[in-house]
C-alpha cells in the first residue's frame, strides 16, 4: 500500500527524496478513494461548537472568511469553500485515513481537514508552515505550486490523486467543479510556542514563591533607578529554576498528547472484545513513560510492552490487556472516554477498499 500511496516509493525513499525538500504529485495514490464524508455530513460537523470550521468565499480578487459554528453551512453555487478541521476526531474512516501516514511519528500527525468547494472555490494563494498531503476526493481541482517566485508545478487532480507539499511552498487550488479535498496536516510547534508552554508547565509544578523584601531600605536619591538589590533578588530566584532532559521529555510528551481546547470526550458505553483508543486520544511514549491526553504515567515492564503495542496499533484484544495494573488503568480510560470497546476487527476493511483497484 505504501508504495502506491507514495508514488511507487517506500517510506524511506519518500522521506529521503521529498520530505521537507520538494513537492510530489502521486496519481491514483488511493485509486478507490471516494471520500469519507459528504456535504450533509460536513454541514452537520460545521454546526457543532466542538468542531473548527470556516467558510471562504471569493469575491473578485478578495477572499472573505467566516468562522463557525454555522446554523446552516450552505456554500454559494460558485466561488465558495466550506472547510472543517479535525474530521478524523469525529469520523472513524477519516481517522483510518490519517493513520495511513503513520510512517511519520504520531507525535507529528495533526489532523484531517476536509474542504468542499463549488466551481471556482478556493482559499487563495498561501504558504503553510507545515507539511501537508492534499488528497483529492470526488471532483477535480487545479493546483499551482511555487517555490519563492518560480512556478514549480501546475496540475489538475481527480479522485484518489494526491499532492505532497513541504513547508514554505506557495500554492493555490481552484475547484473546477464541485469537489472535496482532504488535507492531512502535520504538527510543527514553533520555538516561542514551546517556550511559553514549557514555562507554564514549570510554573504549574511550583516555581519558588518568594516575595521581595527590603527592610534595610534607605531614602532614594534617584527614585527612577531600579534598585540593584531588586535585580539581585530576581537573578537569584531565576537561577534557582533547574530542569534537565528528563523534565523536557516529560513536558514534551504531555504537551504533544494534550487535546485541543475544544475537544470533548464522552464516556464509553459499548461492549466488545477489542479495545480501541478514541480518535481524539493521543497515546505516546518515551522510554518507560507514557503520555495520554496531556497526562503522564509509568507502569511495569510487562504492562509497558502491551501499552506500546496499543499506542502503535491503537487497538488491541482486551484479552491482551487483562493484567491487574492495566485493568485499573483502562477502566479509568473507559470512564473518561479515552478508549472504547468494540466487536473484534469490526470495520477493519476500510483501508483495503481504498487501496485495491
According to the model, what pLDDT value does residue 324 have?
65
Q: Once rounded to an integer, what is the mean pLDDT over residues 13-17?
A: 97
Grid cell locating 33: 478513494
The percentage of the chain sitting over the pLDDT mark of 70, rounded to a whole number, equals 94
Q: Is the pLDDT of residue 281 over 70?
A: yes
Strands (E), 4-61: 24-26, 53-59
Architecture of the domain made up of 2-186: Sandwich (2.60)
pLDDT, residue 355, reads 62
Mean pLDDT of 154-166: 97
CA 338, distance to chain mean position in Å, is: 17
Q: Are strands 109-117 and 80-84 parallel, antiparallel or unpaired?
A: antiparallel
The 10s digit of each residue's pLDDT in 94-138 is 999 999 999 999 999 999 999 999 999 999 999 999 999 999 999
pTM score: 0.88
Average pLDDT for the chain:
91
**What pLDDT score was predicted for residue 165?**
96
Q: Is the pLDDT of residue 208 over 70?
A: no
What is the reported pLDDT for 110? 94
Going from N- to C-terminal start, the domains of the chain cover: 2-186, 189-205+238-357
pLDDT for the residue numbered 232: 92
The reported pLDDT for the residue numbered 10 is: 95
pLDDT at 312: 94
The fraction of the chain above a pLDDT of 90, given in percent, is 70
Nearest to 119 by CA among 58, 62, 170, 65: 58
Furthest-apart CA atoms within the chain: distance in Å:
87
**pLDDT computed for residue 350 by the predictor:** 61
With b for 16 or more beta-carbon neighbours within 10 A and e for fewer, the 216-241 pattern comes to eeeeeeeeeeeeeeeeebeeeeeeee
| Domain formed by 189-205+238-357, architecture | 3-Layer(aba) Sandwich (3.40)
Tens-place pLDDT, residues 173-199: 999 999 999 999 998 888 999 999 998
pLDDT in tens, 220-249: 899 999 999 999 998 988 887 888 899 999
298-343: pLDDT as tens digits:
988 888 999 999 999 999 998 888 776 788 899 999 999 999 998 8
What value does the mean pLDDT take over residues 45-70?
A: 94
CA distances 55 to 4, 122, 123, 170, 283, Å, are 33, 10, 9, 21, 32
Q: How confident is the model at residue 1, as a pLDDT? A: 57
pLDDT of residue 243: 87
Q: Which residues of 48-60 are buried (b: 16+ CB within 10 A; e: fewer)?
A: beebbbbbbbbee
pLDDT of residue 349: 55
4 pLDDT exceeds 90? no
Amino acid at each position: 500500500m505504501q508504495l502506491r500511496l507514495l508514488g511507487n516509493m517506500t517510506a524511506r525513499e519518500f522521506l529521503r527524496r521529498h520530505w521537507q525538500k520538494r513537492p510530489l504529485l502521486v496519481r491514483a495514490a488511493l485509486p478507490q478513494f471516494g471520500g469519507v464524508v459528504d456535504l450533509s455530513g460536513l454541514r452537520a460537523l460545521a454546526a457543532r461548537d466542538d468542531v473548527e470550521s470556516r467558510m471562504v468565499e471569493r469575491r473578485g480578487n478578495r477572499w472573505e472568511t467566516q468562522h463557525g459554528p454555522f446554523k446552516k453551512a450552505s456554500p454559494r453555487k460558485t466561488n465558495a469553500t466550506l472547510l472543517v478541521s479535525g474530521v478524523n476526531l469525529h469520523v472513524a474512516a477519516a481517522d483510518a485515513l490519517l493513520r495511513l501516514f503513520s510512517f511519520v511519528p504520531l507525535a507529528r500527525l495533526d489532523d484531517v481537514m476536509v474542504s468542499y468547494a463549488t466551481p471556482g472555490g478556493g482559499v487563495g494563494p498561501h504558504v503553510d508552515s507545515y507539511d501537508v498531503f492534499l488528497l483529492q476526493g470526488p471532483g477535480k481541482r487545479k493546483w499551482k505550486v511555487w517555490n519563492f517566485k518560480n512556478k514549480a508545478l501546475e496540475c489538475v487532480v481527480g479522485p484518489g490523486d494526491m499532492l505532497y507539499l513541504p513547508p514554505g511552498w506557495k500554492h493555490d487550488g481552484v475547484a473546477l467543479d464541485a469537489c472535496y479535498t482532504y488535507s492531512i496536516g502535520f504538527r510543527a510547534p514553533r520555538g516561542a510556542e514551546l517556550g511559553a508552554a514549557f514555562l507554564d508547565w514549570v510554573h504549574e509544578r511550583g516555581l519558588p514563591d518568594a516575595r521581595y523584601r527590603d527592610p534595610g531600605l534607605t531614602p532614594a536619591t534617584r527614585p527612577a533607578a531600579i534598585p540593584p538589590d531588586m535585580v539581585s533578588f530576581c537573578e537569584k530566584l531565576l537561577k534557582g529554576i533547574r530542569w534537565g532532559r528528563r523534565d523536557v521529555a516529560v513536558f514534551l510528551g504531555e504537551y504533544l498528547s494534550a487535546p485541543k481546547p475544544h475537544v470533548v470526550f464522552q464516556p464509553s458505553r459499548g461492549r466488545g472484545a477489542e479495545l480501541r483508543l478514541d480518535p481524539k486520544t493521543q497515546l505516546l511514549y518515551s522510554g518507560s513513560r507514557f503520555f495520554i491526553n496531556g497526562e503522564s504515567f509509568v507502569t511495569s515492564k510487562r504492562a509497558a510492552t502491551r501499552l506500546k503495542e496499543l499506542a502503535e496499533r491503537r487497538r488491541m484484544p482486551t484479552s491482551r490487556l487483562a493484567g491487574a495494573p492495566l485493568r485499573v488503568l483502562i477502566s479509568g480510560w473507559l470512564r473518561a472516554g479515552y478508549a472504547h470497546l468494540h466487536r473484534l476487527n469490526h470495520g477493519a476493511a476500510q483501508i483495503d477498499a481504498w487501496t485495491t483497484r
